[in-house]
């Protein structure tokens, strides 16, 4: 049986509940009635969140985009994280494997990778 301790929301929920509810939680009597239960073993934390900036390679320069959509999709090979970012001139689509290769979480990381890429081409 699942318990409150198995829930993703356990810590904030625990802090927000009364002593009487906490006593029931300790006896595992609440989880069967909880409408917010989320099994923490099934939660996937994405490396980039909605609204965060990413830095992408675009025609030998770095382009800044804002993530507007993020999803975890179950595929034959496992779980794939996919993202949509909005740039000045349109949308950019990337997945988790692109981070650190053509998509970066910091401008400094993108600039360093672009310099290395340019050196290899020269």
pTM greater than 0.75 (yes/no): no
Specify whether 31 is located in the same domain as 81. no
Q: Is the pLDDT of residue 15 over 70?
A: no
Question: What is the per-residue pLDDT for 73?
Answer: 73
Question: Measured between alpha carbons, how far is residue 25 from residues 8, 18, 35, 38, 42 in Å?
Answer: 14, 10, 14, 15, 21
Specify whether 78 is located in the same domain as 110. yes
Specify whether 38 is located in the same domain as 57. no
Question: What is the per-residue pLDDT for 27?
Answer: 58
Domain presence at residue 47: no
Which residues lie closer than 8 Å to 5 by C-beta, 6 or more apart? Answer: none
Q: How many structural domains are present in the chain?
A: 2
Domain presence at residue 101: yes
Domain presence at residue 109: yes
State the average pLDDT for the chain.
Answer: 81
Which residues lie closer than 8 Å to 14 by C-beta, 6 or more apart? Answer: 4, 22, 25
pLDDT in tens, 89-110: 889 999 888 999 999 999 999 9
Q: Which residue has the tokens 């625990």?
A: 14
Domain presence at residue 57: yes
Specify whether 12 is located in the same domain as 33. yes
Domain presence at residue 71: yes
Which is nearest to 88 in space by CA: 114, 52, 64, 58?
64
Residue range 57-70: average pLDDT?
Answer: 89
Q: Which domain holds residue 106?
A: 53-121
């Amino acid at each position: 049986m699942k318990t409150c301790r198995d829930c993703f929301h356990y810590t904030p929920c625990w802090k927000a509940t009364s002593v009487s509810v906490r006593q029931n939680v300790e006896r595992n009597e609440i989880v069967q009635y909880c409408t917010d239960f989320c099994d923490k073993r099934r939660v996937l934390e994405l490396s980039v969140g909605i609204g965060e900036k990413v830095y992408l390679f675009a025609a030998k320069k770095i382009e800044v985009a804002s993530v507007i959509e993020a999803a975890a999709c179950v595929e034959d090979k496992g779980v794939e994280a996919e993202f949509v970012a909005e740039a000045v001139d349109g949308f950019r689509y990337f997945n988790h494997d692109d981070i650190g290769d053509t998509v970066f979480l910091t401008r400094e990381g993108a600039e360093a990778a672009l310099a290395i890429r340019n050196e290899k081409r020269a």
